[in-house]
Amino acid sequence: MLLSEFAANAELKYELSNIMLKNTLPHAVIIEGAVGTGRKTIADIIAQYCVCSSDSQKPCGICRNCIKADQHIHPDIFYADGNEPKALSVDSIRNIRSSAYIMPNEAPMKAYLLLNCDKMLPPAQNAFLKILEEPPQNVQFIMTVRSSSSLLQTVRSRSRIFSLFPAEVNDAAAIAAKRFPQKDISEIKNIAQLCDGNIGMTLQMLQNGGQEAQKLAEEIFASIMLSSEYPLLQSLQQLAGDRNFAASVLDFMSELAAECVRASIGADVYSKTAAAIAERYSKKRIFCISENILYARKVLNTNVNLNLFCTWLCSVLKS
């Protein structure tokens, strides 16, 4: 993808294209933003810029190096993803350190992409700091992270930080509509709105059930208010069949919980169920529901048994 094709984030695109034009990219950059805002896409564009062999504007998108970068097969672009076990451990960082001093294979520069650095613990960050203090020539480090505050001040101060933000809801919906031409536009807009313009999350929700997931999330919230536990359990059991669908429903549930919190402090909200919950329960109970849903979303990423998960979730939402 070219930088100009990247959605929203006009300020970042302006800054980055200026830096690329003037060839003044600092040797380490941090790209911060929520999951789904395009951190990896920007990291890939910077990596392509680093390996591009064009004499004019980089990345040109058409040279051999750019094409290999696009296909993720360039031998001078290295990935270490914090979501994979030990990928950003002290040992892995030491390996990166020793390989970084070896000259690039084919491109003018090497690029190291350290993804999801939220998972990089302080000892590994300190090991990484040693490279940043004496950076090898012809090497670019690109880190992605939810918030740069997860990184040590010493790492942050030696890097340039770029922040990514969600798109406008209408822009996010337009992009999603191109990707899902068969889906109803009002459903797409509704989901883009729920995701606050986060394009990645909108696409993921459309992929994983969209409207159906949203309906079920509303149904679960309405069941919380009923005196009997049975309807809630029955609704939650619909999560047991498909982990991706369950994840999508829980994402909608955390949006709804956030709506409940907003409603409890007197803000206008779009969901009638959220408004009803806010009227009925104390702020403390609403925060508790919200916390439990966030925790449940994390639990779902583990190898949990889905039937047990549904029963457990029912008991914590009712307590």
- Residues near Zn ion (CB under 5 A) are 52, 54, 59-60, 63, 66
Compare residues 66 and 257 and give the one whose CB is closer to Zn ion: 66
Least distance from Zn ion to the Cβ atom of residue 52, Å: 3
CA dist 1 to 6, 9, 171, 251, Å? 7, 15, 17, 28
Whether 274 contacts 253, CB under 8 Å: no
Compare residues 59 and 82 and give the one whose CB is closer to Zn ion: 59
CA gap 144, 295 in Å, rounded: 23
Q: Say which residues have a Cβ less than 8 Å from residue 137's Cβ, sequence separation at least 6.
A: none
Does residue 27 sit in helix, strand or coil? coil
State whether the Cα torsion 5-7-10-11 is positive or negative: negative
CA gap 47, 40 in Å, rounded: 10
Compare residues 62 and 185 and give the one whose CB is closer to Zn ion: 62
Per DSSP bridges, beta strands 28-32 and 77-81 are: unpaired
Compare residues 10 and 73 and give the one whose CB is closer to Zn ion: 73
Q: What are the structure tokens assigned to 143, written together?
A: 């880190």
Q: Is 284 exposed, middle or buried (0-12, 13-18, 19+ CB in 10 A)?
A: exposed
Least distance from Zn ion to the Cβ atom of residue 53, Å: 6
Least distance from Zn ion to the Cβ atom of residue 60, Å: 4
Compare residues 54 and 126 and give the one whose CB is closer to Zn ion: 54
Least distance from Zn ion to the Cβ atom of residue 54, Å: 4
Least distance from Zn ion to the Cβ atom of residue 56, Å: 10
Compare residues 106 and 279 and give the one whose CB is closer to Zn ion: 106
Least distance from Zn ion to the Cβ atom of residue 225, Å: 58
